[in-house]
A and B are shown apart, each in its own frame.
Chain A
């Protein structure tokens, strides 16, 4: 270790503001880009499932309707 104490390490030879600002902001930026990608992934999967459920509901309703109208036609 190049520093005599933990205080000296955090002081960074008087450049604490610039060094820790650089590393802090970089860390935040990297964490943000991973978190954004992961949350987008979840959201996409959820949307895909809802959309497909909606489509299958529409298909089922259409089928029910045609079955109904066909039975009406044969009944009359």
Chain B
């Protein structure tokens, strides 16, 4: 059943797949981000309590949701790498970590810039904010641990274990607003009930969410290509690739 998947464990095939996928993720992603942001900034109605400051939601909520989804995706890649010994799975893991860290940073930063006018403070050490900060540290920890090993298979295993252990933080972030008293409001969209938001505010939010998800996929694919080249440095196909990409002027 899963036989069709096996050739993609081979680095050259995986690289070709990344090249094929990249434009389909990148350009629709950028387009959706632009449409979602502009719609949210200029055309969505004002919030009756928060005025125009609520428009930060169009970057804050997508980045917060996806900071967690990206972490789960990274941990799944780590699990595949550890269980089936796929080298390419560890490459996918480390390709996702930096963009996940950037998205987590965006969630934290926009949260602070939203908290200042609404709560009167940039930062409080409450459950939601602290657990999201820990998520950023987990991403940075995975990157640092991976970088600390010369042998990248070892590095993948060590960082993979850390990524897997860190998964426990994801439900803590999600339920933090229910388990503890917090300044942060409860879930608006990511709950099983009907979303408690007007549709004309929700649509641009969903488009921005889709756009950011595609953007993260695009960056993951870009970095995946880099990881493959880094590991296949001495292979002839990388040489051909370099000659084609950089022009043949220095070819040997």
Contact = CB atoms under 8 A, between A and B. Distances in A.
Interface of A: 1-3, 9, 12-15, 18-19, 21-23, 25-26, 29-30, 32-34, 36-38, 40-42, 44-49, 51-53, 55-56
Contact of A21 (B51, B113, B215, B226): B113
A22 B234 contact: no
A55 B242 CA distance: 15
Contacts of A26: 59, 63, 106, 109-110
Contacts of B222: 34, 37-38, 41
A51 B233 contact: yes
B102 A30 contact: yes
B234 A51 contact: yes
Contacts, number: 119
Grouping DSSP codes into helix (H, G, I), strand (E, B) and loop, the B interface class, with mixed when no group exceeds half, is helix
A18 B245 contact: no
Interface in B195-252: 215, 218-219, 222-223, 225-226, 229-230, 233-234, 238-239, 241-243, 245-246, 250, 252
Contacts of B60: 22
Contacts of B51: 13-15
B87 interface: no
Name the interface size band of chain B: 35 or more
A23 B63 CA distance: 12
Contacts of B70: none
Contact of B37 (A23, A42, A49, A52): A23
A58 to B, nearest CB: 12
Given A2-B44, A19-B52, A34 B219 contact: yes
19 contacts: A3-B42, A9-B42, A12-B55, A14-B51, A18-B113, A19-B41, A22-B60, A23-B56, A23-B59, A25-B113, A26-B106, A33-B99, A36-B98, A45-B229, A45-B245, A47-B233, A48-B239, A49-B242, A52-B234
